[in-house]
Amino acid sequence: MDVKIKKGKIEDEAAEAIVLSHYEGEKSLSEETAAVDRALGGRIRELIAGGEFTGKRNQSLMLYLKGEIPAKRVLLVGLGKKKEFSAEKIRQAMGTAGRPIREAGLKAFSTPLHGRGQNKITTAESAQAIVEGSLLGLYQFTAYRTEKRDEIKEVQQITLVDRSDGKIAEVAAGSRSGQILAEVVNYVRDLCNHPSNVVTPSRLAEEARTIAKEFGLTCRVIEKAEAESLGMGAFLGVARGSMEPPKFIILEYTGGKKKDAPVVIVGKSITFDSGGISIKPAEKMEQMKTDMSGGAAVLGTMKALAQMKLPVSVVGILPATENMPSGTAVKPGDVVTAMSGKTIEVINTDAEGRMILADALAFATRYKPSAIVDLATLTGACVVALGNHATGVMGTNPKLIERLKRAGEDCGERVWELPLWDEYHEQIKSDVADMKNIGGRGAGAITAAVFLRKFVGDYPWAHLDIAGTAWNDEARPYAPKGATGVGVRLLIQWLTEMSRGRA
Ligand code: BES
Ligand code: ZN
Ligand code: ZN
């Protein structure tokens, strides 16, 4: 996508379409909407007075013009109530605006800055939210459509038009951050939407190598033999059922001072979760191609970090394997020894995410990190608890959890805490080993986290269960059906605050 910045008046834009916004229930129009309204002889005010356009959140209305201004169309979009306004409303409004423009077959649109100054939204924040919302909302996954490809519609250019003096540099900076983030999130969505016969552990390793090469990161891929000598029995136990070679992938970005302890982010990278011998029901099993969403988010975060040159040091770890049933697969009742030396009784082979994370988290502690954050499509129980509107967070460090929650609120990827009380530990006690890999009926999201906790030592750690947020069954304003790419914007928001010394 080509994103352009221009100083000028939106009413002078010779665009195929311009996007104008309005707050619900407000009499007065924004400066830009008012300017166009005057040129149109009060047509926008009439539509509002008649109740045809109310400015309700995510309402949109296309107007066809007859040469009153150089633009051919105006797309009105609602920002919702003024007092509830936030950058999230801009992202949603622009996500909503993009699709009717694309459906009309248009290749480009122009937009002024929306919501600037309202509820402390700065010029850069508005520009970032506009670009993020537009690019994320216009995402479509068409890699496997071979028929009628020429009928695929695509918006190719967005122009941000700002009339105010001396603000263009700020508009450009915000727009650039928005474009980096949205393009990375769309890359993550692609990785998750591609099927598991394409996105294999080997492919994830290739992606990591490509990112490292392009942006100057360090990449190391631990192959099966080396993982064996490192004693990664939990990770390899999961990989044993599959013909696809497992890959334990590490990416390092050093943006901070050499002596600073890095942050380690770990992403569950099961490229297909059949359940293994404890095989899953056939219904919706195809969705388990996205069981590497955590790992994809880690790859994306590393890519974004390097492009944004954030002054923090971050290590990304992806334990990548399939979880398959076969004659060589791990069986219920088997005991494996994790890299930390702890033994695990595998009661259910479908609880494989925590197994691979056990070794990845233990590996993370080798960096003596300032914090460890893992992202995993870990439990159906988290989907039951929080649905699709919040990522579950659990951990040992209240400050870290607070910061992640705040970052989530700011970037529109909400995070909600579940407790990790000691009492839950009882549920994963095993009769034959140090622990078992499932905790019975109650509190499934929590007992999974309790299991992970045994591998992070005393390092500040937070676990993000993205099982409910990584996939959309229905389209949202700026996230079409399918993979959402959740996690990248959340981690970058948190790391940005950290680099500013605010987190
Ligand atoms: N990958 C699944 C969790 C999942 C479920 C992700 C639905 C996205 C949507 C995970 O590996 C799994 O199978 N978890 C089991 C754990 C159980 C066996 C304790 C689950 O949640 O049912
Ligand atoms: Zn599973
Ligand atoms: Zn899984």
pLDDT tens profile 20-57: 999 999 999 999 999 999 999 999 999 999 999 999 99
In testing the pocket of ligand 1, which one of 293, 322, 344, 350 has its CB within 8 Å of the most ligand atoms? 350
| H-assigned helices in 216-292 | 224-230, 233-239
- Interval 277-291 mean pLDDT: 98
> Catalytic amino acids?
280, 354
CB-CB neighbours of 2 under 10 Å: 10
Residue 173 phi, psi dihedral angles, 5° rounding: -65, -45
Beta bridge partners of 315: 252, 264
Cα 364 to averaged position of ligand 1 atoms, centre (Å): 23
> Domains, the chain, ranges and CATH?
2-160 (3.40.220.10), 188-499 (3.40.630.10)
HSE value, Cβ hemisphere, 13 Å, CA-based, for 267: 35
Q: What residue type is 212 in one-letter code?
A: A
Kind of pairing, strands 269-273 and 371-376? unpaired
pLDDT mean across residues, the chain: 98
- Interval 206-232 mean pLDDT: 98
Q: Over 80: is that where the pLDDT of 502 sits? A: no
Residue 372: which H helix or E strand, with range?
Answer: strand 371-376
Percentage of the chain modeled with pLDDT above 90: 99
Check residue 503 and give its pLDDT: 62
Residue nearest to atom 8 of ligand 1 (CA): 467
* Residue 342: both structure tokens together: 């702890």
Ligand nearest to the CA of 378: 1
Number of H helices, E strands in the chain: 14, 20
The band of 246, judged by pLDDT with boundaries at 50, 70 and 90, is: very high
Cα separation, 9 vs 32, in Å, equals 8
With contact defined as beta carbons under 8 Å apart, do 382 and 445 qualify? yes
Cα separation, 398 vs 406, in Å, equals 12
CB-CB neighbours of 423 under 10 Å: 10
The band of 16, judged by pLDDT with boundaries at 50, 70 and 90, is: very high
The band of 501, judged by pLDDT with boundaries at 50, 70 and 90, is: confident
- Interval 314-322 mean pLDDT: 99
Check residue 446 and give its pLDDT: 98
Q: Over 70: is that where the pLDDT of 66 sits? A: yes
HSE value, Cβ hemisphere, 13 Å, CA-based, for 438: 17
Closest by CA position to 460, among listed 253, 201, 261, 234:
261
Check residue 413 and give its pLDDT: 98
Check residue 80 and give its pLDDT: 98
Distance from the Cα of residue 64 to its chain's centroid: 36
Beta bridge partners of 377: none
The pLDDT tens digits for 399-454 are 999 999 999 999 999 999 999 999 999 999 999 999 999 999 999 999 999 999 99
Pocket of ligand 1 (CB under 6 A): 273, 291, 348, 350-353, 377-381, 383, 438, 444, 467
The pLDDT tens digits for 458-491 are 999 999 999 999 999 999 999 999 999 999 999 9
Q: Over 90: is that where the pLDDT of 243 sits? A: yes
Check residue 165 and give its pLDDT: 87
